[in-house]
A and B are shown apart, each in its own frame.
Chain A
Amino acid sequence: MAQILVVDDSSTVRDEVAGFLKRNGLDVATAVDGKDGLSKLRMDPKVKLVVSDVNMPNMDGLTMAEKIRGELGNKTVNIVMLTTENNPNMKERGKAAGIKGWIVKPFKGDAVLATFKKLVEA
């Protein structure tokens, strides 16, 4: 039963992020794109936090977030995006989809660990 779901099409990023979180005692599952993320979340609704890249094949992060809130009807899971760019449209879409935060790559473990732990406890 995972607490955090890491979604990114780059295995390097997945390993880095998931690895860091695991080393710090968190339960982490991974997915390779939006579709995969959705299905993993569907199967394991106990996930408290989704950390997702924006640009992915098959289904991008924002669409996945929208579908999580819409199709899946999951309004409670926290969603945080990993991104290399940030324009007003993205922010708007993100806000509408109830995205909690934006992490700019490169990801720095120490900067996020405390907050992630809080989001997972909540």
Chain B
Amino acid sequence: MDRDSNRAAVTRAGRSKGRHRAASEADRPSSQAFMASGPDGHPPANTGESAMNANKLSPSAQSATSMTRIIAMVGIAIFFFLAISTYQLVKSIESRESLKNVEKLYFPVLIKADSSVAIMDKVSDEYVKAVMTAAGEKGVAAHALGVEAVHNLEEMAKLFPGNSKDLDQIRAQFQSYNDEAAKLDDDYLNHRTVLRDWLPRIQELNANLAKTRDALKSFRARCYEEFSRTLDKTRSAMQSNLYLSLALGMMNLCFMGVLVYFIRNNLRMMALVADQNMNLEKRVAERTEQLAQKTNDIQTMLQNMPQGVLTIVAGSHIHPEYSAYLETIFETTSIAERGLMDLVFSNTNLGADTLSTVEVSVASVLGEDEMNYEFNSHLLVTEFNIRMEDGRTKSLELSWSPIVNEAGVVEKLMVCVRDVTELKRLASEASTQKRELEMIGEILSVSQEKFQDFMQTSMAFVDENRTLTEAASGPTAELITQLFRNMHTVKGNARTYGLGNLTNTVHEAEQTYDDLRKGQATEWEPKMLLEQLDQVRGLLDEYAKINDTKLGRKGPGRRGNVEKFLMVDKSQVAQTLQAMQGVDMDNVDAMRAALVETQKLLRRIGTERLQDVLAGVTESLPSLARELGKEPPVVAIHDNGVLVRTQISGLLKNLFTHLLRNAVDHGIEAPAARAAAGKPGVGRIELDVEIAGDDLRFVLRDDGQGMALDRIRQIAADRGLVEASTILSDEETAQLVFLPGFSTAEVVTEVSGRGVGMDAVKGFLEREGGRIDVRFLGASTGSGHRLFEFVIALPATFAVSN
């Protein structure tokens, strides 16, 4: 601003300078004519000068103090200027006066003095001449001349009142001379006197006249001196005035120079400013374009992002700048300026109170200090379901962010809306699967047998509770206690086995009974209790299903993990230990008996019952039978107390998988055929085990139709295993089934994994020192079938008898 005002000052000064300069140029005399008049008026150069001087400083001095400094300097300059001008003026007036004096006073005086002197001289001569020439008229003329001189002197006195005394004296003297001289002359000429008298008188008079003339001359000299002194003074005053004017003129020129400099600067600055202005405009245009670009980019983002973003402004309505996806979510284009509650929170599954809380919270946060957001943000709903016009529901998630300005006030609330319907569905599916996986994990951590036990007992308890509840007419202490105890047991077991997905439900049911027991719940609501039991039962069923079908662990399973550890019946060990402990150490027989018992026990280590080994197979037979449209057969295993070593359990499993399934597949007939043959609908498979000498012998037979020898022959011929022409005995035919390539069907079970072909099984058997034979029972029937049994032998070392 200072610069502006100074620029204005410069321009003002410039303008004023121009005006005044014009005036002073006109007025200013040339150096020669300085006598006529002096520099007149106020050369405003000083004002301009001081202003410009001030301008030299002001760009750097930018405060009010510099302003006063400038004003002070200007003031001082003006003062000096006025002083000088006044001095000049005074001086020039003085000079004029002096010169006037010269003109009006000295000149006339001097002239008169000179003329008087001249007259005096002439007069004295004339008087003498008059006498000499006896020309009375000369005397008269001389007297008249004298009178003229007297007049002169009179006038001089008048003009010179200061010296009038001298002049009067001179005049008086001269007048007296004049008169006397005239008289003398007259007297002489009129013969009143003689020359002898006239001469000395006239000489005396002339002597006096000489004195008078001297006085006058000295007066004249004095006057002349003053005159020339005055002239000198005037001249010197004029000279000094001239110099001053010259100096002022020089200063003027300098200031003009400075002014030109400043004007040039100004012009340059203006050019610079104009240049910068243009630059600025260019930059503004650039920035505007950048801004437009940015706005465009942001708009593009808003239009394309797959998230609904909106901002809520004061008044709880929605700002017109929102992301386009919002329209997709809410299936409407009417969003801008709508109220938040109207657009987002109508047709939701939120309760009226929740909605009201949200509304109040939003109102409490907008336009308030951000601490209010901290206070209330937890009340801003983050997920809910919304129903569309056509009845579909969507699940929406909201993220809230406060937009805070520098004063710490929440100006707007930004809300990000996500459609999570699909996500939720997937999550729910995943969670279902997760639950199932959890349950599988839980089940697997329990041994098959124990799990089976648990299932059976728990289901039994639940069923019992159901029965009791249904039958009861009212709550009795006994009933409630029983119900509680059952459930408590189930819970305890479930907990022990870590079946987490079960325990909670069971616990709730147990608590219900507990509340009834403690008298806290007084209502006997059989319906509710039964529902609860159904829930528990449902869960148990779920577990069972997973266990049986998904995991294929149906049945009690094999006892113990065979890889590393051997499991022995705990009770047996306990018994034996007890027996050993109680042995009378002094009694040899008792000790022997104890020893035998221990041996027995030890021998039983690493052995299993055949039933357990084959459990998986036998349990899978019913479903196989059903698949084949046959009645599940009865499998009777007579093990005669033989326990087989775990080492061969795999082999036995493989073997009997084939044999038993074949029995069901090929041996046991369909119910119709059986009925026709007069057999009971349910087939029977029998497996005998015994230790005979060095052999561990298995005999497997079924009451089906026997071996289809014809068919076997056919298949073998088809497969190219025998020549079609070759005749084979029944025994030879029977052996064909053990040929590799006879049956390419692999037996796959969920439990035993992939089976191997019969030939492989025979190979395993023989490798272990065993053998398998087919023993026909009875004669060949002629229908191509012949009843038979398999006889398998293994070294007896693979078994122990109990």
Interface set of A (CB-CB < 8 Å, partner B)? 80, 83-87, 91, 100-106, 108, 110-112, 114-115
Q: Which of B361, B371, B377: most chain A Cβ within 10 A?
A: B371
Residue numbers of B with Cβ under 8 A of A are 356-357, 360-361, 363-364, 367-369, 371-372, 374-379
13 new A-B pairs (CB below 8 Å) besides A83-B364, A103-B372, A106-B379?
A83-B360, A84-B357, A86-B360, A102-B364, A103-B375, A104-B357, A104-B376, A105-B357, A106-B357, A108-B379, A111-B376, A112-B375, A114-B374
Which chain B positions have C-beta within 8 A of A105? 357
- Contact A103 B360, CB 8 Å, known A91-B367, A115-B371: no
Q: How far is the CA of A108 from the CA of B377 in the complex (A)?
A: 10
CB <8 Å contact, A101 and B368: yes
B360 and A115 form a contact (CB under 8 A): no
- Chain B residue numbers with a CB within 8 Å of A111 are 374-378
Residues of chain A within 8 A of B360, CB atoms compared: 83-86, 104
Residue of B nearest to A99 (CB): B368
Q: Least Cβ distance of A62 to chain B in Å? A: 14
Asked if B364 and A104 sit within 8 Å, CB to CB, the answer is yes
In the complex, what distance in Å separates the CA atom of A74 from the CA atom of B374? 26
Which of A85, A86, A101, A103 contacts B369 (CB under 8 A)?
Answer: A101
Decide: B367 and A101 in contact? CB cutoff 8 A.
no
Task: Decide: A102 and B374 in contact? CB cutoff 8 A.
Answer: no
B375 contacts across to A, CB distance below 8 A: 80, 101-104, 111-112, 115
Q: Is the interface of B mostly helix, strand, loop or mixed?
A: helix
Q: Which of A87, A102, A104, A105 is the most central at the interface, judged by chain B CB atoms within 10 Å of its CB?
A: A104
Give 11 pairs: A residue, B residue, CB < 8 Å, sorted on A.
A84-B356, A101-B369, A102-B368, A104-B360, A104-B364, A106-B357, A108-B379, A111-B374, A111-B377, A115-B371, A115-B374
Q: Is the CB of A87 within 8 A of B376?
A: no
> Whose C-beta in chain A lies nearest to the C-beta of B372?
A101
A110 to B378, CA, bound (A): 10
Bound form: Cα–Cα A106–B357 in Å: 9
Structural contact, A101 and B371, CB atoms closer than 8 A: yes
> How near does chain A come to B369, taking the closest CB pair, in angstroms?
6
User: What residue in chain A is nearest B365 (Cβ atoms)?
Assistant: A102
Which residues does chain A contribute within 8 Å of B357, judged by CB atoms? Answer: 84, 104-106
Beyond A101-B368, A101-B369, is A87–B374 a contact (Cβ under 8 Å)? Answer: no
Closest to B367 in A: A91
Q: Provide the bound-state CA to CA distance between A103 and B363, in Å.
A: 11
Are A103 and B367 in contact (CB-based, < 8 A)?
A: no
- The interface residues of chain B lying within 8 Å CB-to-CB of A104 are 357, 360-361, 364, 375-376, 379
What residues of B have a CB within 8 angstroms of the CB of A87 in the complex? 363
Q: Please give me the residue from chain B that is nearest to A115 by CB atom.
A: B371
| Chain B residue nearest in CB terms to A112 | B375
A44 to B121, CA, bound (A): 131
Return A1 CB to nearest CB of chain B, in Å. 25
| Across-interface contacts of A108 in B (CB, < 8 A) | 378-379
Bound Cα distance from A102 to B374, whole angstroms: 10
Name B362's closest neighbour in chain A (CB-CB): A86
The 4 closest A-B pairs by CB, nearest first: A102-B364, A86-B363, A103-B375, A104-B361
The smallest C-beta distance from A122 to any residue of chain B, in angstroms, reads 12
Residues of B within 8 A of A83 (CB): 360, 364
